[in-house]
Structure 1
């Protein structure tokens, strides 16, 4: 599966940093589908962590890698990294991506 992304237009300057972890034992496909003129799709391996930037209104679709069955649709605001939270996350192991670079 190819990983694809495009840049957000300059007029969309309000971006948020988001965190997602594949806690399953199966590969997943994470995709932002509701942003016009933006494409973001990543293969997420089991236990892999992903940091990405996107718009506050974005929805992250999570699908199985084998059948493309929709597992979840998550508002990215609920995935936003917030300064000061200490939840035991080790971001040193996370992959950082701009959702549209």
Structure 2
């Protein structure tokens, strides 16, 4: 995943894919300041999910916004925010059955679809007259 605005410095080879969720009702600012030559700061709205790539040693600071200020409310190591990347078999979107090479059985059964029209007319109740 590329950081479009501020790419990671080239000397940072050990990167991880991370996710932070603002579970509060306040606006937060997520900032990583312990990586030299890299600026990472994002506004995270209530309920928003922030997915980003960062060095494994990065520390995320969470600043919670008040009326005219922000308070450092948490420091989280990015290795605690790592999300597991999907395996190649999880990315298969074909409706064909995938065969297990050991047991020779389908891992996921194929999707059964009926041929023909499956729609039915919609019956709507209506008001005939108002007195």
Larger RCO (CA under 8 A, 6+ residues apart): 1
| Partner residue in 1 for 2:57 | 57
Task: Report matched runs for 1:14-93 at 5 Å.
Answer: 14-66=14-66, 67-83=69-85
CA distance, structure 2, for counterparts of residue 69 and residue 9 of structure 1: 28
The SS at the match of 1:77 is helix
Correspondence 1:8 to 2:22: no
Structure 2: any 5+ residue segments left out of the alignment?
87-131
Q: Distance in 1 between matches of 2:44 and 2:51?
A: 11
Match of residue 98 from structure 1: none
Give deviations 1:38-73, integer Å, cap 9, x for gaps: 000000000000100000000000001232100100
RMSD: 1.3
TM-score (norm 2): 0.57
Residue in 2 aligned with 1:94? none
Q: Which structure has more strand as a fraction of its residues?
A: 1
Give aligned pairs, total.
80
